[in-house]
């Protein structure tokens, strides 16, 4: 779908928490210079799994200063609120506050009843530490856990508010409450496709006149004692390398899996009229979106089909040759990259006809639900300038026929499509262009 004849929707502010920093322009600079955010785990025990490295957002410590510029009262409120936030929710709130500050959408310049929040997330897992005190109370003399003791003896040791720390609707809830935003509010849990789905929902909501402005974001972490174990057991992860920064190799002949990471991003979307009336800077315009879900039980090439469907929908009636670049999912798995490349070739044609293709995952792996939004912001900021090349892509797989960006000096153009897909075959694509 595109908005060629409807209410225009523009981007006026961005905020990120990424393995390459907390400032969007710094992150882009580090992407362009080929830096990696992959290093040794600091929150996962080493020597337990086959992998000991991933892309942590180490600059985000959870300190209130990481939330960007805030007045004293809001600082105090958010600092108190972090007691019922896990790391993913903290990152989500932080990027929303950063994007709001970057947009200049102040209390005075917004209608609180027509300003809202839409956030993408994934299911969030509790930390085992939440239950250790209760479990310890239920051990018998031989150190065996007695489940019959849990209700009366163990459960009272668990923080009664523990669940609030892990609900995936809490980023949108916290941001709306802290900023008194009473407009549309929604939470979308769609793994890696969540950012695209949230952006599409925000775009549609503003376009049909139900809001003037929305904070749209996504947050995720795959670096967590249990979540990392789940990924290790269920997914194709990259094996250890002598140089860990080369573990993530999207579309490369030697790639062997994805790398676990964490991060979050947020954008402020407004109607064009609302943004220009208040004199806001405009970073780009959302002009199309697409989504598709294709089940693997019915199609061996289900990811290819879902991505192609989403790309076509995001293009709408636009000539594919006018797209400046494509920000691919680029997970780094053998099958996933091949199916994505096949979808790109199906929609855009052979390599000579395709726009330049990049992905940030070579720099910091898979940030889970946060990936799409962080990647989208990197592409928005690249418009009109140079595109960042795919890190660690030294030999393009012959079965990945894409126009891969492999060096400096490639133009990002004045438009792009960002695409992401879940392992289950749910794909989303967002088309954004420079403001005309």
Domains of the chain listed by start with CATH number? 9-126+163-433 (3.40.47.10)
* Average pLDDT value for residue range 54-64: 96
Which ranges of 180-224 would DSSP assign to H, the alpha helix?
A: 194-207
Local confidence band at 15 (pLDDT 50, 70, 90 cut-offs)? very high
Q: Which of these, 25, 1, 7, 3, lies nearest to 270 by C-alpha position?
A: 7
pLDDT > 70? residue 3: no
In degrees to the nearest 10, what's the CA dihedral of 225, 252, 392, 233?
A: 10
Q: What's the pLDDT tens digit per position in 106-156?
A: 999 999 999 999 999 998 988 888 899 999 999 999 999 999 999 999 999
- Tell me, what's the pLDDT at 309? 98
Residue 434: exposure state from Cβ atoms within 10 A (0-12, 13-18, ≥19): middle
Our CA angle for 358, 61, 196, nearest 5°, is 35
- Tell me, what's the pLDDT at 161? 87
pLDDT > 70? residue 270: yes
Q: Which residues contact 206 (CB under 8 A, 6 or more apart)?
A: 7, 9, 212, 213, 214, 269, 270, 271
Q: What's the pLDDT tens digit per position in 346-385?
A: 999 999 999 999 999 999 999 999 999 999 999 999 999 9
Q: Which residues contact 296 (CB under 8 A, 6 or more apart)?
A: 302, 303, 424, 425
Dist. CA 20–CA 17, nearest whole Å:
8
Q: Which of these, 290, 292, 294, lies nearest to 313 by C-alpha position?
A: 290
Inter-residue long-range contacts of 165-170, CB under 8 Å, 24+ positions, other chains counted: 165/84, 165/85, 165/86, 165/89, 165/126, 165/130, 166/86, 166/89, 166/124, 166/125, 166/126, 167/124, 168/121, 168/122, 168/123, 168/124, 169/119, 169/121, 170/85, 170/89
Cα dist. 113→18, 65, 92, 214, 389 in Å? 31, 28, 22, 11, 42
Chain-centre distance for alpha carbon 367: 6
Q: Which residues contact 6 (CB under 8 A, 6 or more apart)?
A: 207
Local confidence band at 25 (pLDDT 50, 70, 90 cut-offs)? very high
User: Residue 285: left (phi > 0), alpha (psi -120 to 50), or beta?
Assistant: beta
Dist. CA 404–CA 389, nearest whole Å:
8
- Tell me, what's the pLDDT at 177? 97
pLDDT > 70? residue 5: no
| Cβ count within 10 A of residue 195 | 36
- How many Cα atoms occupy the beta-carbon half-sphere of 121 within 13 Å? 24
Dist. CA 305–CA 311, nearest whole Å:
10
pLDDT > 60? residue 305: yes
pTM for this entry: 0.95
Dist. CA 19–CA 116, nearest whole Å:
28
Q: Which residues contact 310 (CB under 8 A, 6 or more apart)?
A: 196, 290, 291, 292, 419, 421, 427, 428, 429
- Tell me, what's the pLDDT at 378? 98
- Tell me, what's the pLDDT at 374? 98
Residue 225: exposure state from Cβ atoms within 10 A (0-12, 13-18, ≥19): middle
Q: For 67-84, give one letter per residue: b (16+ CB within 10 A) or e.
A: bbebeeeeeeebeebbeb
Dist. CA 92–CA 175, nearest whole Å:
9
Rg (Cα) of the chain, in Å, rounded? 21
Residue 52: strand, helix, or coil: coil
**Residue 213 β-bridge partners:** 115, 270
- Tell me, what's the pLDDT at 278? 96
- Tell me, what's the pLDDT at 4? 46
By the 8 A CB rule, do 190 and 426 touch? yes
* Average pLDDT value for residue range 327-343: 97
Among 158-167, 183-192, 196-205, 261-270, name the one with the lowest average pLDDT: 158-167
- Tell me, what's the pLDDT at 103? 97
- Tell me, what's the pLDDT at 1? 45
What is the chain's mean pLDDT, rounded?
95
Q: Which residues contact 83 (CB under 8 A, 6 or more apart)?
A: none
* Average pLDDT value for residue range 227-256: 94
Angle between helices 371-382 and 24-32 (to 10 degrees): 80
* Average pLDDT value for residue range 90-119: 97
């Amino acid at each position: 779908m595109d908005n060629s004849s409807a209410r225009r929707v523009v981007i006026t502010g961005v905020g990120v928490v990424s393995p390459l920093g907390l400032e969007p322009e710094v992150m882009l600079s580090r992407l362009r210079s080929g830096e990696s955010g992959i290093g040794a785990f600091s929150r996962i025990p080493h020597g337990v799994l086959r992998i000991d490295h991933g892309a942590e957002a180490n600059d985000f410590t959870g300190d209130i200063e990481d939330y960007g510029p805030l007045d004293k009262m809001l600082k105090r409120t958010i600092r108190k609120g972090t007691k019922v936030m896990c790391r993913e929710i903290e990152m989500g709130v932080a990027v929303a506050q950063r994007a709001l500050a970057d947009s200049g959408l102040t209390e005075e310049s917004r209608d609180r009843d027509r300003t809202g929040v839409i956030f993408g997330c994934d299911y969030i897992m509790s930390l085992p530490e939440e239950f250790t005190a209760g479990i310890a109370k239920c051990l018998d003399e031989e150190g065996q856990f007695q489940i019959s003791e849990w209700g009366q003896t163990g459960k009272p040791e668990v923080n009664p508010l523990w669940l609030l720390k892990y609900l995936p609707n809490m980023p949108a809830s916290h941001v709306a409450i802290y900023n008194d935003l009473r407009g549309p509010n929604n939470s979308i849990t769609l793994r890696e496709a969540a950012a695209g789905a949230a952006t599409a929902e925000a775009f549609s909501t503003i376009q049909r006149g139900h809001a003037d402005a929305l904070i749209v974001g996504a947050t995720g972490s795959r670096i967590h004692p249990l979540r990392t174990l789940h990924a290790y057991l269920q997914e194709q992860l990259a094996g250890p390398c002598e140089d860990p920064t080369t573990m993530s190799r999207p579309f490369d002949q030697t790639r062997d899996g994805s790398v676990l990471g964490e991060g979050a991003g947020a954008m402020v979307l407004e109607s064009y009229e609302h943004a220009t009336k208040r004199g806001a800077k405009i970073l780009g315009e959302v002009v199309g979106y697409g989504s598709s879900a294709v089940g693997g039980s019915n199609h061996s090439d289900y990811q290819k089909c879902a991505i192609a469907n989403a790309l076509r929908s995001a293009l709408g009636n636009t000539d594919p040759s006018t797209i400046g670049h494509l920000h691919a999912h680029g997970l780094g798995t053998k099958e996933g990259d091949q199916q994505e490349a096949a979808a790109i070739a199906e929609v855009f044609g052979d390599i000579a006809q395709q726009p330049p293709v990049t992905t940030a995952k070579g720099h910091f792996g898979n940030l889970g639900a946060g990936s799409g939004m962080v990647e989208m912001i990197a592409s928005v900021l690249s418009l009109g300038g140079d595109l960042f090349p795919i890190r660690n892509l030294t030999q393009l797989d012959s079965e990945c026929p894409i126009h891969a960006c492999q060096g400096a000096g490639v133009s990002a153009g004045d438009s792009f499509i960002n695409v992401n897909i879940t392992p289950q075959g749910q794909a989303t694509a967002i088309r954004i262009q420079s403001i005309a």
